[in-house]
A and B are shown apart, each in its own frame.
Chain A
Amino acid sequence: MSITPLAKLTLGPILFHWDAAAKCDFYARIADECPIDTVYIGEVVCSKRTPFFERHLPEVIERLERGGKTVVLSTLAEVVLPRERKMTTELCAQSDYLVEVNNGAGLGPIAGRPHRIGPTLNVYNVQSMVHLASRGADHFTLPAEIPGNVAALIGAAARPIGVGIEVQVFGRAPLALSARCFHARAHGRSKDDCRFVCEADPDGLQLSTLSGGPFLAINGIQTLSWGYVNLGAELDAMCAAGICYFRLMPHRTDMVTVAKIFFDRLAGLSSPDEAGACLSALGLGPFENGFWHGRAGHLYHTEPEH
C-alpha cells in the first residue's frame, strides 16, 4: 500500500514561538515516526525569536536527515532591520542547505542556484512562476488564498518544466503580516519591549468579534485564521491537477497523527469524512476550505466537485 508515487507530504515551518526544547522534541518525533517527505525549518515570522533555536538547528537538521527527510531552511517573511537583512542574505548565499525564500531580499543572493519559493512571494500566475524558475527556483508553495482552479492552471504549467507545486492542506491559514507586533499590543507593550509574550500562545492568540465568535489568531506580527484549513477532501483533485506536494502546518497537537491521517487519505485508505473525524478527535477545528473553492476563507464548502 503506497500513496500516489508523486504525492508527497511536507511539514511547513513552525510559525509560532515555541521554546527550544519543545521544538527539539517536536522535530525528533517528526524525524522518527512521521510519513513526511520534506521538513521546512527556521523562523519565518519574527527575527527576535531566532537566537533561542539557532544553536539547536544543526543538530535538528542532522536528526531529520537521518530520519530520511529532506530539510529546507525557510527565510523570514518580513525583512526590514539590518539583522533581518543579514540573516536573509546569508542564508540565501550559502549552498549547504536548500532554502525556501519568503521575502524578495533573498532572491538576489540565491539567483542561479536551485531554490524554493515560499507562499509570501505571491506567485499567482504562470508568468511569475516561469520568471522565477528562469533564475533557479524549482519548487513553489502557492499563497494560502489561492483558489483551486488557479492552482490547477499553475500546476499544469509546472509539470512540463519540472517544477514542483505545493499547497497548504492543514493548519491555520496565514492571512497577514505587519511591522507591528499585535501580541505585544494586546499586552500593552511595543515590539521592542515584547518580553516574548507570544510564547504563551503556541497556536496563536484568539481574537473574537464583538458578537462573540472566534475570528482570527494573532502570532506576533502575523495574523492567521481562527479555523484550520483542511483540504483532505480535495487531495484527489489536487493530485489530478499536477499539485503533488501537500503542506501540513505545525500546531501544538499530535502532528504525527495529523500526518498519518493525511497519508492514509492520500493512499486511499480513508474517506474525507473519516479523515475529518480523526482530525476532530484531536480537538482540531473548525475546518475551512473556502479559499480553495474561491469563497470566503473561513467557510467550509461541502458541495461535491464538478
Chain B
Amino acid sequence: MLRAAVEAGADAVYCGFQNATNARNFAGLNFTPKELQDGVAYAHTRGTKVLLALNSFASEGRFELWKHAAECGADCGVDAFIVADIGVASHLANQLPQQRLHLSVQAAASNPEAINFYCREFGIARAVLPRLLTITEIRNLKNEVDCEIETFVFGNHGLMVEGRCSLTNYAVGVSTNMDGACSPASHVRYERDATGGMTANLGDHVIDCFAPCDQAGYPTICKGRYRTPVREEPYYAFEEPVSINLMDMLPELIGAGVDAFKIEGRQRSRTYAGQVVGAFRKAIDAILAGQSPNPIDLIGLTEGHKQTQGAFLTKKWR
C-alpha cells in the first residue's frame, strides 16, 4: 500500500501501527515496527515522507501504548506524527521536541481559535481540517491560522465531527476514539431474508436493507437507513452511502491556500490507492503548471458508485 502510494506520486504517506494508537485500527491493516522501518527507508529513497498516525485517544491505563508507538516511530525516522489527544500531543511536544506534529481531523479543530490553541501549546505545524467546512470558510480560516492546512479530497464522506462520535461504541462496544475503529468488520453481519434481499447489520442493529438485485453496502451508522415518525418511508437520516471527490474543486482549493490534500487509502486496496493518488498527482501537477487538468473519472472507486462534493461546495449541504 505504502509502495503503491509512493509509486503513484504521493508526497507523503500516513501510516499507523497495528493497535489502538491510530484511527484506522482494522485487522489486516497497518505496520509492525520492522515494516515501518522498511517503509520509511523505501519512501525516503523516493523522496516521499512518512507520517505516523497516533491520532486516537489514549484511555488512561493504556497511555504506555502511545508512548511506545511514539518512540518506535521516532526510531524508524518518520517525518511527522499526527495527533488528536491533548495528552499525547503534550507528551510528544515534551519528549520529542524536535519532531514535527500534525493535528489530526480527530481533534475536531474547525475554527482558527482551536487550531491556534494547538499551534501555541504543542507547536503544531499543520492541521487537517474537518470535512465540514465550505471552501470559503477554508480560505478565511487559512488567513487566520499559524500553520499549514490539509483537507480531504477523496474517500469516506465523514458526516459526524470526527473525534466526537461514539455511534460505533454505542452500537457494538468498540470506541472509534479509544480503539481507533469505526464500524469494525468483526461486528458486521450480512443476512439474506426470505425475499432474497440482504440486510447489513452492525452488531444487533439493522443499518440498511438491499433488494436482491442491489449490491449490499457496508453498514456504517451515519450512512444507514432508518424510520422516523415524521416520514412515511425509511430514509438516510444522516447521509446516503457516498464518497467525497473534490477533483473538480482542486483549483479553488489550491487558491484557498490548502497546503496538502489528503486521500484516504488505508482501508483500501493497493490498486485503489495507486489509481486515486495517480489521478490527483496528475491533476495537481497540471494545475501548478498553469494548465487545466483533464477530467479523470474515479466514480468506479467510490462508495456505492456515488460521489459528492459534500460540505465543501455550499452551506446548503448542511
Contact = CB atoms under 8 A, between A and B. Distances in A.
B168 to A, nearest CB: 9
Contacts of A150: 59-61
B53 interface: no
Given A180-B159, A206-B228, A296 B57 contact: no
B164 A176 contact: yes
Interface string A205-224: 11111111101101000010
Q: Chain B CB within 10 Å — which of A89, A128, A132 has the most?
A: A128
B18 interface: no
Given A122-B163, A122-B177, A205 B170 contact: no
A296 B170 contact: yes
Interface residues of A, number: 74
Given A79-B111, A104-B118, A180 B85 contact: no
Nearest to A174: B166
Nearest to B93: A131
Nearest to B230: A186
Interface stretch (B23-31, B72-80, B147-155, B310-318): B310-318
B110 A209 contact: no
A145 B170 CA distance: 8
B132 A80 contact: yes
B25 to A, nearest CB: 15
Given A125-B63, A208-B226, A145 B114 contact: no
A180 B317 contact: yes
Given A210-B199, A296-B203, A104 B113 contact: yes
A173 B87 CA distance: 24
Interface of B: 57-61, 63, 84-88, 90-91, 107-118, 120-121, 130, 132-133, 137, 159-161, 163-167, 169-173, 175, 177-178, 199, 203, 205-209, 222, 224-231, 234-235, 237-239, 311, 315-318
Given A125-B60, A296-B171, 8 more contacts: A78-B110, A79-B113, A85-B113, A123-B86, A185-B237, A211-B199, A211-B206, A215-B226
